Amino acid sequence: MNPHGYEMSTQAAKAQHISLPWPPSVNHYWRARGVKRFISSEGQLYREAVTIGYIDAGSPEPLEGPISLTIRVMEPNKRRRDLDNLLKAPLDALAHAGWYRDDSQIHDLRIYRGGYEEGGALYVLICQLVDEQC
């Protein structure tokens, strides 16, 4: 088990542990002007922060093929929130930054509450699936 609390099989698979800032909710990620929908300035800033993290990690080759994502949510406070509303911004930002090529690669997606942390954070394990195992 690693410091983020994830378990990983001993099978040789590519995996990345990523710390992400607290994302904007889906309600703050998108904006509309008439019939046009676009990513808000808050969403674009989030994408930039995730991209900077990717560059700081050495810009590893994007994972290919089926992947698994496990996301530990460290909430900024005890306010009630739906976990599924947190997913759009980080999943888009991870693909945009280059951690993997496209959301369609995600074959296994898990999200769980891990407690509270000042400012909130998401701890992500991205793993290339080998024989449906991480």
Looking at the domain assignment, is residue 71 inside a domain? yes
Q: What is the pTM of this model?
A: 0.83
Domain containing 95: what range?
15-128
pLDDT in tens, 71-102: 999 999 999 999 988 999 999 999 999 999 99
Question: Domain for residue 10, yes or no?
Answer: no
- DSSP letter string, 60-104: PPPB-SSEEEEEEEEESSS----GGGGSHHHHHHHHHHTSBS-GG
Residue 127, pLDDT above cutoff 60: yes
Within a domain: residue 42? Answer: yes
The CATH number of residue 68's host domain is 3.30.1330.70
- The model's pLDDT over 10-37, given as tens digits with 9 standing for 90+, comes to 444 688 999 999 999 877 888 888 989 8
pLDDT at 33: 87
**Any idea how long the chain is?**
134
Q: Is residue 63 part of a domain?
A: yes
Structural domain tally of the chain? 1
